[in-house]
Chains A and B, each alone.
Chain A
Amino acid sequence: MMQQWETTVSNEEKPNEKSRAIRARQRAIGRELRRMYDDVAQEPVPDDFLDLLRKIDDAEQQKSGKKVS
């Protein structure tokens, strides 16, 4: 439904060449965004994060330790 409308409108505006160009640019933008995202995702996880999990663990251990004993 949405797509139908879009096609109708852009066809009236201009032939396919323009929309092809737009799609190509959108793909390029998509690549750029994925690169930004993947670059961060591929960084090694900073030690802070692992320390944090360890701290949470310790806190919980104390808590449950108190309950048990």
Chain B
Amino acid sequence: MPASSPSLRPSEKPENSDFRVDLLALIPFLRAFARSLTGNQEGADDLAQETLVKAWQSRATFTPGTNLKAWLFTILRNQFYSDRRRAWRQAPWDQEAAERIPGGGEDQLFAAELSDTVRALRRLSDEQREALILVGAGGFSYEDAAAICKCAVGTVKSRVARARKTLIDILDGADTLGAVARPAEGDAAREIMAQLDKLSPGRTDDTGAGKKRSK
């Protein structure tokens, strides 16, 4: 094996070095998104690094001039869910442990330093959490967030709205989710959905609100 030189290769294709510069600049955001998804630093950095490797390997599939950040976030998100699926398959007993400890052990360690809001974020469904993070923290448009989450724009909108509402409910419930008042659970958004479903069963799904709702 020849000794490796860390310096830039003179022979490197210019588009590769452009891509690399852009990639480097986006690492902080990959880390932020990963941290928001996993809720812990170590797992997040592993995830962001896996993403980096995947992105570099698949750079030929990236269309220059399109949104590199959204492209990277899509890779990261896919990686997050596939890692988790694999973890569940390989260690089915972990599932039990995970259920015993809400949020997982590591999450809890970190939770001590986190604000109530950030802690409450961990209790959202994956779908609501990712939508809220992308739009509410990452500054993505609903359209880009929809592309990243592979769902309709309307679905993202309703997930973000429900996520915000659920967060408030959790924060109001203070200690336990069970303390969230049931009347509030008769959630306007859900009622609207139900009404929409009833009113127009044959509607074309232009909002996408009815799609992929359950999980």
Which residues of A line the B interface, CB within 8 A? 1-2, 5-6, 9-10, 13, 22, 25-26, 29-30, 32-34, 36-38, 40-43, 45-46, 48-50, 52-54, 56-58, 61-62, 64-65
Contacts and interface: CB of A to CB of B under 8 A. Distances in A.
B-side interface mostly: helix
B6 A10 contact: no
Contacts of B158: 2
A61 B192 CA distance: 57
Contacts of B164: 26, 29
B52 A2 contact: no
Nearest to A65: B2
28 contacts: A2-B158, A2-B192, A2-B207, A22-B168, A29-B117, A30-B136, A30-B137, A33-B133, A33-B136, A33-B137, A34-B136, A36-B36, A36-B137, A37-B137, A37-B138, A40-B44, A41-B31, A42-B28, A45-B24, A48-B45, A49-B49, A50-B24, A53-B20, A53-B52, A56-B53, A58-B6, A61-B4, A62-B2
Interface residues of B, number: 50
B174 interface: no
Nearest to B1: A62
A29 B167 contact: yes
B181 interface: no
A33 B36 CA distance: 9
Contact of B115 (A32, A46, A62): A32
A9 to B, nearest CB: 5
A29 B1 contact: no
B88 to A, nearest CB: 26
A45 B133 contact: no
B52 A49 contact: yes
A51 to B, nearest CB: 9
A54 B45 contact: no
A62 B52 CA distance: 19
Interface in B109-137: 114-115, 117-118, 121, 132-133, 136-137
B168 A25 contact: yes
Contact of A58 (B4, B53, B189, B196): B4
Contacts of A64: 11
B29 interface: yes
B20 to A, nearest CB: 7
